[in-house]
Amino acid sequence: MQETRKGMLLVISGPSGAGKGTLYGRLLQADQTMGFSVSYTTRDPRPGEAEGKDYHFVSETEFAQMVADDGFLEYAQVHGHHYGTPLAPVREALERGQNIMLDIDPQGAMQVMEKAPECVSVFILPPSFGELRRRLEGRGTETQEEIERRLRNARGEVALMDRYQYLVINDVVETAYQTLQGIVDAEKQRSCRYFPVVDE
Amino acid sequence: MQETRKGMLLVISGPSGAGKGTLYGRLLQADQTMGFSVSYTTRDPRPGEAEGKDYHFVSETEFAQMVADDGFLEYAQVHGHHYGTPLAPVREALERGQNIMLDIDPQGAMQVMEKAPECVSVFILPPSFGELRRRLEGRGTETQEEIERRLRNARGEVALMDRYQYLVINDVVETAYQTLQGIVDAEKQRSCRYFPVVDE
């Protein structure tokens, strides 16, 4: 049995605190077929960060040129700096049969779904807004004002969950991971990217 | 976490001898959420067959009236008798949240995909045409002429595999079953039929 494959673009999104980063990390580690995209940013490298590994560090002018050239799958401004997922390397990886996974906030996810409608989109849900608050407070990295803002955003984002193809509740991480891996494995069997040849 | 669900209509198809019946049986036994549809037929009951359990046995006139009323998801004539999958009970089951599975030949599967585009369609592939021949011959239930006819059909059906959403190669039954069950479990997470409510 010969077979060829096109890559899958997997978009993992969800409200801040739902745990998409943890699930992304687990999947990247466990699934050898899954790769990631290195984002572009206009912020300065932090100590220990390497060009092309953590980010591609570019100037505001270079970034603006890439935007003008329609070079991003999605981009956003956060705290005065720009961040973007480049389109060309992702497209090339997919054509080579490499799967690519993005861990991305809902605003970015909507842009990717617009630009790459063939993507597989998964929305990670918290079991409750109370639990989401506990997780955000437990991090200890955001101010109370920032936590309240993220909780308000979360309600709006959860209301739009039907824009995503799949929904996964992240109550117990291991269970949510298994469900996510199952979705990825099922999507590998899709006739739009899996081309088996029946031998004689 | 509250949640409601709509049922999934799962269409399992493939060439004669690919093993869709075996996989259908395994899934029906293993997955408690999965139900089946009782077909209508105009042939006479065989010894031991019960009305409403094995088939709904109807006259040609009754069958023709159901066709006229657009009452079938699909129907076909085989060896002079009519067989059909009724639409109304399937729709009602899906609305109640019951999953329904159909084991159906490719011609019927195409009709179902036309009438119920929201269905989940899986095409079961043999590992090779040589193996398909061995399986058909091993059954000992068809004449050599009938086997040759089925093998010719199989080539045409395999050529149209991209009409189905998912492709599963049935080389080792246990592996194929696990893949199929994985597809079903993933499809249960689809936002079009899975409606979780995030608690406060």
* pLDDT one-digit tens code per residue, A46-60: 999 999 999 999 999
Partners of residue A17 in chain B, C-beta under 8 Å: none
- Taking an 8 Å cut-off on Cβ atoms, the answer to whether A169 and B199 are in contact is no
Alpha-carbon distance B198 to nearest alpha carbon in chain A (angstroms): 5
* pLDDT one-digit tens code per residue, B99-110: 999 999 999 999
Partners of residue B168 in chain A, C-beta under 8 Å: 189
What count of other Cβ atoms lies within 10 Å of the Cβ of residue A58?
17
Partners of residue B125 in chain A, C-beta under 8 Å: 196, 198
Specify whether the CB–CB gap between B62 and B47 falls below 8 A.
Answer: no
- Taking an 8 Å cut-off on Cβ atoms, the answer to whether B128 and A194 are in contact is no
Which chain B residue has its CA at the smallest distance from A154's CA?
B198
∠ CA A192-A193-A197, rounded to 5°: 95
Specify whether the CB–CB gap between B20 and B12 falls below 8 A.
Answer: yes
Instruction: Round to whole Å and give the CA distance between B163 and A94.
Output: 22
Please tell me whether the overall predicted TM-score, pTM, comes out greater than 0.90 for this model. Answer: yes
- Pick B129's closest partner by Cβ from A127, A189, A200: A200
Average pLDDT over residues B139-159: 93
Closest of B127, B116, B113 to residue B162, by C-alpha: B113
pLDDT for A117 beyond 80: yes
Residue carrying structure tokens 């399986």 = B135
- Taking an 8 Å cut-off on Cβ atoms, the answer to whether A183 and B189 are in contact is yes
What count of other Cβ atoms lies within 10 Å of the Cβ of residue A14?
29
pLDDT band at B140 (very low <50, low <70, confident <90, very high): confident
Partners of residue B187 in chain A, C-beta under 8 Å: 186
pLDDT for B141 beyond 90: no
Average pLDDT over residues B162-179: 97
* pLDDT one-digit tens code per residue, B17-68: 999 999 999 999 999 999 999 999 999 999 999 999 999 999 999 999 999 9
Partners of residue A165 in chain B, C-beta under 8 Å: 190-191
Tabulate helix, strand, coil % of chain B (nearest 5).
40, 25, 30
Residue carrying structure tokens 């996964």 = A168
Query: What ipTM is given for this predicted complex?
Result: 0.92
Alpha-carbon distance A196 to nearest alpha carbon in chain B (angstroms): 8
Specify whether the CB–CB gap between B156 and B170 falls below 8 A.
Answer: no
- Taking an 8 Å cut-off on Cβ atoms, the answer to whether B125 and A198 are in contact is yes
Average pLDDT over residues B160-175: 97
pLDDT band at B142 (very low <50, low <70, confident <90, very high): confident
pLDDT for A1 beyond 70: no
The CATH code of the domain that includes A49 is: 3.40.50.300
Picking from A123, A191, A192 by the largest number of B CB atoms within 10 A of its own CB, the best residue to mutate is A191
Partners of residue A196 in chain B, C-beta under 8 Å: 125, 167, 169
How many distinct structural domains can be found in chain B? 1
The residue type found at A149 is R
User: Could you tell me if residue B52 is left (phi over 0), alpha (psi between -120 and 50 degrees) or otherwise beta?
Assistant: left
Closest of A185, A190, A186 to residue A31, by C-alpha: A185
- Buried b / exposed e along A66-84 (16+ C-beta atoms within 10 A): beeeebbbbbeeeeeebbb
The 8-class DSSP code of residue A109 comes to: H
**What's the full length of chain A, in residues?**
200
Give me the domain span that covers residue A6.
Answer: 2-197
Closest of A156, A176, A148 to residue A25, by C-alpha: A176
pLDDT band at B1 (very low <50, low <70, confident <90, very high): low
- Taking an 8 Å cut-off on Cβ atoms, the answer to whether A186 and B190 are in contact is no
The pair of structure tokens assigned to B142 is 């068809």
